[in-house]
Amino acid sequence: MEGLKAKLYQACMNFILQRINTAETALQQAQEASNDDTKSSAGDKFETTREMMQQDIARNKSLLLDANQNLSLLSALEEVIHSDVVKNGSLVYTSNGIFYISISAGQLKIDNQPVFAISAVSPIGQLLMGKKEGESFSFNQNQYTIKMID
């Protein structure tokens, strides 16, 4: 990995590690709050609060699971070799922007160059997968032509 692609990989890795850290912290705080909560004289209020805490814990566990799955997917892309067709790990230069097929991290700016980190299962990712240089596709009423695949 070199140049822009290596920097994108690192930016995506930082993005996902931050998500994991945030989810772990939120989960820990929610579990501590749940453990510290003692039954008050207002029983219904206690049960409602407890249920909200359980929902919060479940949501944070789900976010953590998703982030860890993205980390696994991203880790598998570290040593992707060049291909003539778009696949996971490809850096795709199109007539309407640059796309890094990896995880959904949104628009990243690397060396003042905007690049969209997208998942292969995202709508535009699905349209890009398997395409070759010179091929075109349409997305959101915009026409895209693949100029280069790295």
Residue-range domain boundaries for the chain: 3-75, 91-149
Q: Could you read off the pLDDT of 54-108 as tens digits, one per residue?
A: 898 999 999 999 999 999 999 999 887 888 999 999 999 999 999 999 999 999 9
Task: Please classify residue 53 by burial: count the beta carbons closer than 10 Å to its beta carbon, then call 0-12 exposed, 13-18 middle and 19+ buried.
Answer: middle
Place of tokens 């230069």: 93
Least confidently predicted of 46-50, 99-103, 118-122, 131-135: 46-50
Q: Could you read off the pLDDT of 26-51 as tens digits, one per residue?
A: 999 888 877 776 544 455 666 777 78
Task: Please classify residue 140 by burial: count the beta carbons closer than 10 Å to its beta carbon, then call 0-12 exposed, 13-18 middle and 19+ buried.
Answer: exposed
Sign of the CA dihedral with 34 first, then 37, 43, and 49 last: negative
Distance of alpha carbon 102 from alpha carbon 104, whole angstroms:
7
pLDDT at residue 149, as a whole number: 96
